[in-house]
Structure 1
Amino acid sequence: MTDLPADRPPLISEDDRDAAVRRLREAYAEGHLTHPELDERLDQVLAVTTRPELDVALASLPAEKAVTTSTIGAAGGRIQRRGVWQVPRKLKVESAFGRVRLDLSRTVIEHAAVDIELRLGTGRAKITVPRDAVVDIEGLETGWKDTTYKPTRRPRSPGGVKIHISGSMGFGRLTIRHARR
């Protein structure tokens, strides 16, 4: 058995790699990188194995903005957001009993991706997403009822926001639909 040198740089995790890819895409969306630069740096990020190599691929990008999580909560009753409102990068929705209705169709979304964490006990939840959004519900655990979501059949525009829905639902049902307009 050979010993590894003590000064060997730490290896990166898949979460580190995913965060770097997300950061590059956001920098591209904000106009800090050209398309060829994005392609080159994505290739670098996907090939590196250590933290210093990853730092080189992310060099010259603007400093990351601190991501805060906004929380909407209610023990019982109804949680509803609709109309024009600003969606944070991370949104946590907590309800023990009651209905949740989030309409993102006319919202202001300044990020390339939005993470919505649901912590629901009982009751229904309905989320309306923008027409061109890409929705990922792989991180959502449901207890009793299934999630209803049919991706849109219309071709999506390439700049659609990615919405990642995670968390847990006890005895309720989640319905996700794309806005018609």
Structure 2
Amino acid sequence: MSNLTPRDATTRAADTDRIQVAQLLTEATAKGRLELGEYEQRLVKAYAAQTYEQLDRLTEDLPEAAEASHRRGASKPAPKTLLLAILSGFERRGRWNVPGQITTFTLFGGGVVDLRYADFTSANVDIHAYSIMGGQTILLPPEINLEVRGIGVMGGFEHNVDGTGTPGAPKVTIRGFSLWGGVGVKRKNRKPGGPEPSVP
């Protein structure tokens, strides 16, 4: 049950409040308290929520809500991330904190950035993706908003990505280029049971 006063309940929520509730829902799902379908329904509602009351309704039956201070606190974005694959590879999968800026670079190598099970710490995420005679794939869940600005020179930089995202959900902007390489961008549904195992 919410402890909000009527005045608090109608106070407009900020992006940071929505992100914190999304993290709380992800934690509850990881512990098996929510099935995948219900988790995704609540997640869409959390991103669309306008008030604290609407956010509270999505978490009031979860023990995690009592354990965490998930509203009115300034959310601290994760630090910038650099992922390199030079004659090698990188993978960022499973549950991890997505920063506001990620730079990926592949040279005679490959990489995967999977955002489907990750915790966003910023409402806007810039990914600078570069592939030179290498390749990388960026996977997004259905609700994330997307803008792709990259270019391919004798290579590919995928722009035709299915789906439109959910109003209020974080926005990912992908920039960069590929030279004799490729940057793939795909929406992919989550699977019951959590993230797919990493490929060695």
TM-score (norm 1): 0.59
Once residues 165 and 180 of structure 2 are traced to their aligned partners in structure 1, the CA distance between those partners, rounded to angstroms, is: 32
Q: 1:80 aligns with which of 78, 87, 91?
A: 91
Q: Which runs of 5+ in 2 are unaligned?
A: 1-12, 18-48, 51-72, 191-200
| Structure 1 SS opposite 2:130 | strand
Q: 2:14 aligns with which of 18, 22, 28?
A: 28
Q: CA deviation at 1:168?
A: 2.1
Q: Kindly tell me: are residues 67 and 105 of structure 1, through their superposed partners in 2, closer, same or farther at Cα, counting changes over 3 Å?
A: closer
Please tell me the residue identity of whatever aligns with 1:126.
Answer: T
Higher strand share: 1
Once residues 90 and 144 of structure 1 are traced to their aligned partners in structure 2, the CA distance between those partners, rounded to angstroms, is: 26
Contact preservation (8 Å) 2:77, 2:121 = no
Larger RCO: 1 or 2 (CA < 8 Å, sep 6+) = 2
Contact preservation (8 Å) 2:157, 2:177 = no
Aligned to 1:145: 155
RMSD over aligned Cα atoms: 2.9
Q: Which runs of 5+ in 1 are unaligned?
A: 1-26, 36-61
Q: Kindly tell me: are residues 78 and 67 of structure 1, through their superposed partners in 2, closer, same or farther at Cα, counting changes over 3 Å?
A: closer
Q: CA deviation at 1:151?
A: 3.3
Once residues 66 and 130 of structure 1 are traced to their aligned partners in structure 2, the CA distance between those partners, rounded to angstroms, is: 20
Once residues 63 and 126 of structure 1 are traced to their aligned partners in structure 2, the CA distance between those partners, rounded to angstroms, is: 32
- 2:167 is aligned with 1:158: yes
Once residues 178 and 151 of structure 2 are traced to their aligned partners in structure 1, the CA distance between those partners, rounded to angstroms, is: 6
- 2:168 is aligned with 1:175: no
Contact preservation (8 Å) 1:149, 1:177 = no
Please tell me the residue identity of whatever aligns with 2:165.
Answer: R
Once residues 66 and 111 of structure 1 are traced to their aligned partners in structure 2, the CA distance between those partners, rounded to angstroms, is: 6
The higher radius of gyration belongs to 1
**Aligned-residue identity in percent:** 22
Q: Kindly tell me: are residues 113 and 70 of structure 1, through their superposed partners in 2, closer, same or farther at Cα, counting changes over 3 Å?
A: same
